[in-house]
Structure 1
Amino acid sequence: MAGLSLQCAACKAQFRSVEEAQGHAELTKHADFQESTEPVLNLVCVTCGKPCRTQTEKDLHTKRTLHTEFSDKTAEAAKPIVLESPNVGASTSGNVSEANPARNEWIVAEMVQPEVNKELLAELESMGFATPRATRALHFTGASDIETAVSWIVDHEDDPDIDEMPLVAAETGNTAMQPLLTPEEAKIKAHELRERARKKKQEEESRMEREREKERIRIGKELQEARRKEEQQERERLMIFRKAEKDEERRAREKIRQKLEEDKAERRRKLGLPPEDPKPADSSPAPALAPAPEEEKKPFLPIRPASKAEQMRECLRSLKQAHKEEDANVKRAFQTLLTYIGNVVRAPDEEKFRKIRLTNPSFQERVGRFKGGEHLLELCGFEKDAGGEFLIIPREKVDNILLQTASKELNSAIVNPFFGIL
């Protein structure tokens, strides 16, 4: 069977003509070529039209471009190899390197730069790629677009000869790697690829815009819901504040009423009047009564003893009124007292919570220097020890209900801005 290609004995590369083998020998210094009955593959990419000469070249093209459909036109391009060359007048032996020296003159034929697309070359150079590197990319890919050439440069940037200008035989130029399309077909193909890329870009932009719109709607709903919750919480806080104000106002009115009644009873006592106004006298004369003993002449005062809660409230009110100019420090004292009492409620068995050193600088700075601070703790059950150095509440005297009442009064004094004013 006639030879269909020349095969390099060193790297097993196949070539369609002596000129191609000559270019390979000049680039690689390989000089041993043999005639082969296997044709050079001609696998044409259906998508971009690039011809691939080997299965490895096809795999690399698929990896770079993701094009997987190829048309096998090897049979159409397979022709018997012609070993004669204008510079060679010897016989066509199978092993070229074994022929006489005159037959190997084709090895030193003139080598020139390959012809590539000037516009694409200029565009690659404007992107910062060196001329040899850009020329290699366009030559070895037969690229008709920038993306393929750039991908080739990225994949081969570590090659040792990446910045060397490629050379081909002067007689063949770049015929080995020219695309199998006419200029008109290449233009049509390039136009189709551009349109496809433009449509793909438009679809991607539309998809991204839809995603952005969905994200804007989602964020808007979240902000609206957060604003609604914040307004609801603000309304609840306002209702609690107003309720506390009304409770404080009611307690103030009740206290004023009780004070008026006590003052009225005290005035009647000083004037020697009975606790209540006497009823209208009957028309019949009343029988004479024996004078009452001295101890029975004391008038009865209808004054009920103040409860613990009222005593605590009065203590806190007096403390705040006595230090009107130190509102922030008074509030800090109330919070410190609330902490002491809360610790006892939460852990009544902890002795460290039931014992307060009166000489402690922190206690004196926050509570002790205010008149009424120690008194409130005593109302809660704390007692001074024998040396007067500590306030201690025995475990058996811990009254959770009393301590919770004190916590409630302290909390009211802290949150109510009108506490102690009325």
Structure 2
Amino acid sequence: MAGVSLKCGDCGALLKSVQEAQDHADLTSHSNFSESTEAVLNLVCTTCCKPCRSKTETDLHTKRTGHTEFVDKTAEVTKPISLEVPKVAAMDIDEPAAADVSTTSQPAGNASLEAAVNWVVEHENDPDIDEMPMVPVNSKVEAPKPSLTPEEMKQKAQELRYGALKCISKLHRLHFVIATCSMERIRIGKELLEAKRIEEENERKRLMALRKAEKEEERRAREKIRQKLEEDKVTTAERRRKLGLAPEDPATVKPSAPVVEEKKSMLPVRPATKQEQMRECLRSLKQSHKDDDAKVKRAFQTLLTYIGNVAKNPSEEKFRKIRLNNQTFQDRVGALQGGIRFLELCGFEKIEGDEFLFLARDKVDMAVLNSAGSELTSAINNPFFGVL
């Protein structure tokens, strides 16, 4: 396939003609050119008809003018390139015919510059080499005529200068765009690295704060468990003392304790209150079924439901009467040790041959019911209830 452009081997630029290649060589000092089958692009802006020869030129044109629509007319203007060097006829001279010269001193080999040089070399030893050639009077030697007028030469020089300045301006803009893109890429890279560093730092701080919160929560939980254990020990010891029972571990009793107990033993022992009896009843229920926490919790919640219904609707008889042989009641409360005893402490009594538990309307004591609800709530929410 015939070449349609000249390609610069140094920078890869595509040129339409030999003249453009010469101009390119003058501007850049590049000298490595070869024929190429790759056509020079001709992208014409549909808005202002500005031709662009590359994607870079279209991008610059779009950035400068805002025009974005281009028509590819490369195929219309592409033609095989001519490698003939344009002849400059500025110094052409009409040479006189050889027949008009009537002397041997006139050089006969002046048909071309090369012939003239050869003639001078051959006749450099002639005695009359330095004399002026003799030309007949009638012979007419025409002065050399320039092919271009001074105005045309001046205009041509201005056009060449303008083209050179235009190419330099394009190169400067291209270098500016490349430098701007490089700086933008460096800036974006730095911003990404900084964002990544900040994200890693925030993640590290978050993990440290989470670990610290977990340790603090664990410390508070241990402290809370320790306080609960201490409170339960004190409560148990106090309850056993009030009930007149011996301490669980006599070895842990201080030497002064028997003296104190001996002094207090002379006073009448106060009987346990109904609330304390309820608590002891719930504790014995949990101790009897300590291997089944779900069953114990379900029993406490059932008792709390019974007591809550009566407290909210004391006039409703259906809430104050419980059938003892009801299977659900037996599974949840009746079959468990202490379940019926707790209801009896709340005021329920067996009637009709121990078939029902019934709380008379006039025996509804809201203070007792509130105390029972408090004890049940504590037993449900306190994980250490009944452990000691």
Q: TM-score range by the shorter chain?
A: 0.3 to 0.5
Higher Cα radius of gyration: 2
Normalising by structure 2, what TM-score? 0.46
Normalising by structure 1, what TM-score? 0.43
